[in-house]
């Protein structure tokens, strides 16, 4: 959806991008909002911007409270290979899921909204640990009726992935549709992006546009003009896949954040078959993987760790010493990682003095294949780097 912003409003965004402190961000965002003309075409952007503003204000409040030494922390430090936040309606079973899937000592309760602070726990998938965070519930579809609304959304924004928990014994369509819509209004999109557009501001060098794929209905000059509207004179725009000019604008504004996600339908033990079917239909339409489970009885819980790992698009690489010793703990990298990424992860000097590598495993044509630094690795590969 295009933002329909006039250049005067776009020109204000640069201050938001350059703001360092929360206070600066809030002031700059307020200025941006007041410069946006209010009409149908800017409705979505305004909704997103005002939500972002209230979230920043809540973050500032929390920071102040913590400074004076009072008040609990909402932010959860990342641990393990990735952090997944569980979102859902009250009493959908998030806390019981956390208790069953992780080492966290938490207790479920029949009283809705009983979790008022995020609770982390570590879940094992084979030889990696993933962090699950049980977030205070959101009453999706009922408007922002809870004081932690912005902070729970903030948790999801910071996480590497989202697990949307749906109660199969209640109206599945209503829960899912309202959650997806509300998250979208907050700039959080479930599932895989069609294109990756990243934008990095630089201090010199003009505008560089790198397209690995295709710009739809736009030329690199249109991108350049858009950036100039935003008063951006230096930076690198990388486009991987098929992207439109709106995707580029979303990368600048940061108002479309695709999160790797899965949808978990819980309480299979008391749900009707029709609920499971509705879950499947909606999830397939969204293009998001789903699973029906029972946290209480244990149905399908053993399938969740693998599903989470796969949705995050991570791969495990085992480094091998020339002596033959293979590391027991994997390096966890993003799908698409190359031998060079492994070298960098070990040590920068390894990357600089790289000669060649030998690989074993799924991406090797034969065991011990000799490859260059650009070789793309797969989950489970063993890599020996020669520098």
Q: Is residue 113 near ligand GTP by the rule CB under 6 A? A: yes
Residue 289 CB, shortest distance to ligand GTP, in Å, is 19
Q: Is residue 267 near ligand GTP by the rule CB under 6 A? A: yes
Q: Which is nearer to ligand GTP, 113 or 258 (CB)?
A: 113
Q: Is residue 175 near Mg ion by the rule CB under 5 A? A: no
The DSSP code for 71 is: S
Q: Is residue 96 near ligand GTP by the rule CB under 6 A? A: yes
Going by their DSSP bridges, the two strands 356-360 and 369-371 should be labelled as antiparallel
Q: Which is nearer to ligand GTP, 72 or 112 (CB)?
A: 112
Give pairs for 68-73: CB < 8 Å, separation 24+.
72/117, 73/117
Residue 375 CB, shortest distance to ligand GTP, in Å, is 44
Q: Give the range of 31-39, 57-65, 112-120, 319-327 binding ligand GTP by CB under 6 A.
A: 112-120
Residue 221 CB, shortest distance to ligand GTP, in Å, is 50
The DSSP code for 113 is: T
Residue 106 CB, shortest distance to ligand GTP, in Å, is 8
Q: Work out which of 42, 115, 186, 266 binds Mg ion, going by CB under 5 A.
A: 115
Q: Work out which of 294, 311, 319, 363 binds ligand GTP, going by CB under 6 A.
A: 294
Euclidean distance between CA atoms 349 and 198, whole angstroms:
27
Euclidean distance between CA atoms 282 and 372, whole angstroms:
43
Q: Is residue 92 near Mg ion by the rule CB under 5 A? A: no
Would you call 257 exposed, middle or buried from its count of C-beta atoms within 10 A (0-12, 13-18, 19+)? middle
The DSSP code for 270 is: G
Q: Work out which of 21, 103, 109, 348 binds ligand GTP, going by CB under 6 A.
A: 109
Q: Work out which of 81, 244, 261, 266 binds ligand GTP, going by CB under 6 A.
A: 266
CA distances from 289 to 53, 107, 312 (A): 31, 27, 11
Q: Work out which of 36, 45, 108, 166 binds ligand GTP, going by CB under 6 A.
A: 108
Residue 377 CB, shortest distance to ligand GTP, in Å, is 38
Smallest Cα–Cα separation from 287: which of 256, 313, 260?
Answer: 260
Give pairs for 220-226: CB < 8 Å, separation 24+.
223/248, 226/252
Q: Work out which of 81, 83, 95, 266 binds Mg ion, going by CB under 5 A.
A: 95
Q: Give the range of 110-118, 180-188, 193-201, 240-248 binding ligand GTP by CB under 6 A.
A: 110-118
Q: Work out which of 3, 42, 81, 95 binds ligand GTP, going by CB under 6 A.
A: 95
Q: Give the range of 72-80, 88-96, 151-159, 170-178 binding ligand GTP by CB under 6 A.
A: 88-96
Q: How many CB atoms lie within 10 A of CB 287?
A: 10
Total of residues contacting ligand GTP (CB under 6 A): 23
Q: Tokens 């909204």 belong to which residue?
A: 113
Euclidean distance between CA atoms 192 and 250, whole angstroms:
15
Residue 138 CB, shortest distance to Mg ion, in Å, is 12
Site track 126-145 with ligand GTP (rule: CB under 6 A), x = hit = -----------x--------
The entry of ligand GTP, Mg ion, none near residue 294 (CB within 5 to 8 angstroms by kind) is ligand GTP
Residue 62 Ramachandran class (φ > 0 left, ψ -120 to 50 alpha, else beta): alpha
Q: Tokens 């009453």 belong to which residue?
A: 139
Q: Is residue 350 near ligand GTP by the rule CB under 6 A? A: no
Sequence-ordered list of residues with C-beta below 8 angstroms from that of 147, at least 6 positions apart, any chain: none
Q: What does the DSSP assignment read for 357-377? A: EEEESTT-SSTTEEE-TTPBP
Interacting residues toward ligand GTP by CB under 6 A: 88, 90-96, 108-110, 112-115, 137, 266-267, 269-270, 294-296
Judged by the rule CB under 5 A, the positions of this chain that interact with Mg ion are 95, 115
């Amino acid at each position: 959806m295009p933002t329909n912003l006039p250049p005067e409003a776009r020109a204000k965004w640069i201050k938001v991008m350059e703001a360092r402190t929360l206070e600066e961000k809030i002031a700059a965002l307020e200025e941006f909002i007041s410069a946006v003309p209010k009409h149908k075409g800017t409705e979505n952007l305004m909704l997103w911007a005002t939500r972002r503003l209230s979230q920043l204000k809540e973050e500032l409040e929390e920071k102040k409270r913590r400074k004076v030494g009072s008040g609990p922390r909402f932010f959860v430090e990342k641990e393990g290979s990735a952090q997944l936040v569980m979102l859902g309606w009250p009493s959908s079973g998030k806390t019981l899921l956390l208790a069953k899937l992780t080492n966290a000592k938490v207790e479920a309760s029949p009283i809705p909204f009983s979790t008022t602070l995020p609770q982390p726990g570590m879940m094992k998938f084979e030889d990696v640990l993933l962090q699950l965070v049980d977030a205070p519930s959101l009453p999706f579809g009922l408007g922002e009726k809870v004081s932690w609304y912005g902070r729970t959304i903030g948790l999801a924004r910071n996480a590497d992935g989202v697990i949307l928990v749906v109660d199969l014994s209640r109206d599945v369509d209503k829960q899912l549709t309202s959650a997806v819509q509300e998250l979208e209004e907050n700039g959080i999109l479930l599932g895989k992006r069609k294109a990756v557009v990243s934008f990095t501001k630089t201090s010199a060098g003009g505008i560089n546009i790198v397209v690995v794929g295709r710009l739809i209905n736009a030329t690199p000059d249109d991108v350049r003009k858009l950036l100039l509207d935003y008063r951006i004179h230096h930076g690198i725009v990388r486009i991987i896949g098929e992207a439109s000019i709106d995707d580029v604008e979303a990368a600048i504004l940061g108002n479309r954040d695709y999160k790797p996600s899965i949808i978990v339908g819980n309480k299979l033990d008391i749900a009707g078959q029709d609920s499971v079917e509705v879950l499947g239909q909606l999830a397939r339409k969204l293009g998001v993987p789903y699973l029906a489970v029972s946290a209480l009885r244990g149905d399908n819980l053993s399938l969740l760790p693998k599903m989470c790992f796969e949705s995050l698009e991570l791969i495990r690489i085992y480094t091998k010493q020339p002596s033959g010793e293979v590391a027991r703990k994997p390096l966890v990298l993003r799908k698409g990682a190359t031998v060079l990424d492994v070298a960098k992860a070990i040590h920068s000097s390894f990357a600089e003095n790289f000669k060649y590598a030998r690989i074993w495993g799924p991406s090797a044509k034969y065991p011990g294949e000799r490859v260059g630094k650009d070789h793309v690795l797969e989950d489970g590969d063993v890599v020996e780097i020669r520098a």
